[in-house]
Structure 1
Amino acid sequence: MRVLVTRPMPAAERTAAELRKRGHQPVLLPLMRAEHRLDGLRQGPPPQTAALAVTSAEAIRALTGLSEDERSRYLHLPLFAVGEATATAARDLGFIKVETGSGDGEALARRLLAAVSGDTAHPILYLAGTPRSPEFEQNLENASRGIEIVECYRMVPERWKTGHIEEVLTPRPDCILLYSSETARQFVALIESLPTSPGAIKNIRFLCLSHKIASALPKDFRAYAVWPMEPREDLLLDLL
């Protein structure tokens, strides 16, 4: 099966390798790329920080841009990661106390609130990106839990030439993998910018990591969208 992978690098390469293991043909078209912002990270965590929270492995990759001394100020803190892939990246970097959520920001907030006391003098440090979904922050704020936010990366659209996009889409993929709502929106904008009709791909299956991501698609595309019961890549790829 020919599968279009739209997630950013280097995650796209890992997904491609897994697809090949499963006997599929991956085609890479990353629609976003990360720009790391290290100034806030270089200041180190605020005094009395209770824990770190990350909702993307991109935050862990941003930490790799720090010097060893700068990074060491974070590694002793307990870290709450949105899913297993992010948790693995954190352990590989040197974090020892790593807790794993069940795949989305809302679930991570519940896990963190159950594990860390509500003393607002000991804030949660959220290493965040932009744009991002608001659920994680909203859940902590609704629980009156102190939170400090450092935006350490920004996801920006990749700019592909029309000829390259048409080459990637020829022959047509059997399905398209979408890992974020922003990527879903970027894909729709990309298709609408092509001289060929956007309707030419509307009957292609969209494999979305979650129902929320599928909801970011237009109605015509959404009719062909499926998603796993939990936002996990292994379950997503099982849908192929």
Structure 2
Amino acid sequence: MTTILVTRPIDEATLTAEKLEAMGHSVIIAPMLQVEAVSFEIPDENRSLIITSKNAARLGLVNIGNKARPIFAVGEKTADEIRALGFTNVTVGPGTARQMIPMLLECGISEKRKYTHLCGSNLAYNIAAVLRDEGLDADHTVTYQTQPARSVSIGVQEALDAGEIDVALFYSPRTATTFEEVVADHGRSDWLRQMKAVCLSTRVADNLLGPWKSKEYAIIPTEKAVLSIVGN
């Protein structure tokens, strides 16, 4: 049985853990980021919304009453989260924010759209800035913030000390960096040497700089692709 460390925020980590356990793996959860809602002003009705994460969907759309409002979502999983909140006018884009740009440009120019990106306080890719550079009316509204972990629990430390964890999963560059910072704070780079890191993408993998046993990343940045690596 493979023991896997899941480093996602707790809500997402729980769902990933259920999938891994159904595959026959043992799971230890160690969230590296804590997601917190922030107050924000709802964008004007004439602006189409861009959603690039489930957190932005859950925390950014909760007070928006117009369920027919145009929303552009990154990937099917995010779109499903938006639809589950009752929104009906959802256009699904590719699986990364960067890959959505051509679709957003085409719709923005042909339909004269104005865009607001509902996002977290740490922008991995600034969609609004790219769209503005192309002459479109685009801005972003921060709807949540993430706070990095400063340590791991005693239980996780004991599992790492005992060499019980075979694989660590990373779904974002910031999560990857935070985990290595926590390891460095503990002075335990030896923990990394006993584990394989499995990452959502090359961009996530590039943020892992420590002496890992090995690193792998999904060719397609989806959870299905990540879990297929673990399954192998």
TM exceeds 0.5? yes
Question: 2:145 — aligned with what?
Answer: 154
Q: Distance in 2 between matches of 1:28 and 1:131?
A: 23
Contact 1:127 1:150 in 2 (8 A): yes
1:6-60 deviations in Å (ceiling 9; x for gaps): 000211011001101111111100110111113x2xx3322421x1101111011
Q: 2:203 aligns with which of 200, 204, 212?
A: 212
Deviates more, 1:201-210 or 1:53-62: 201-210
> In the TM superposition, what is the alpha-carbon distance from 1:63 to its structure 2 partner?
3.6
Q: Distance in 2 between matches of 1:186 and 1:110?
A: 32
1:67-120 deviations in Å (ceiling 9; x for gaps): xxxx214x2222111122211110000111112222211012222222333677
Question: 1:45 — aligned with what?
Answer: 43
Q: 1:111 aligns with which of 103, 118, 125?
A: 103
Q: Distance in 1 between matches of 2:127 and 2:14?
A: 28
Count matched residues.
228
The two structures have a TM-score, normalised by structure 2, of 0.89
Question: 1:234 — aligned with what?
Answer: 224
Alpha-carbon distance change, 106 to 64 in structure 1, aligned in 2, over 3 angstroms: closer
Counterpart of 1:178 in structure 2: which amino acid?
A: F
CA RMSD of aligned residues (A): 2.1
Q: Distance in 1 between matches of 2:211 and 2:151?
A: 24
Question: 1:72 — aligned with what?
Answer: 65
Contact 1:129 1:152 in 2 (8 A): yes
Contact 2:4 2:167 in 1 (8 A): yes
Q: What secondary structure is seen at the aligned counterpart in 2 of 1:220?
A: coil
Alpha-carbon distance change, 55 to 214 in structure 1, aligned in 2, over 3 angstroms: same
Q: What secondary structure is seen at the aligned counterpart in 1 of 2:130?
A: helix
Question: 2:90 — aligned with what?
Answer: 98
1:143-182 deviations in Å (ceiling 9; x for gaps): 2221121100001113445634413424431111001000
Counterpart of 2:144 in structure 1: which amino acid?
A: Y
> In the TM superposition, what is the alpha-carbon distance from 1:61 to its structure 2 partner?
1.4
1:209-233 deviations in Å (ceiling 9; x for gaps): 0100111111633x72211111100
The two structures have a TM-score, normalised by structure 1, of 0.86
Contact 1:118 1:146 in 2 (8 A): no
Q: 5+ residue gaps in structure 2?
A: none
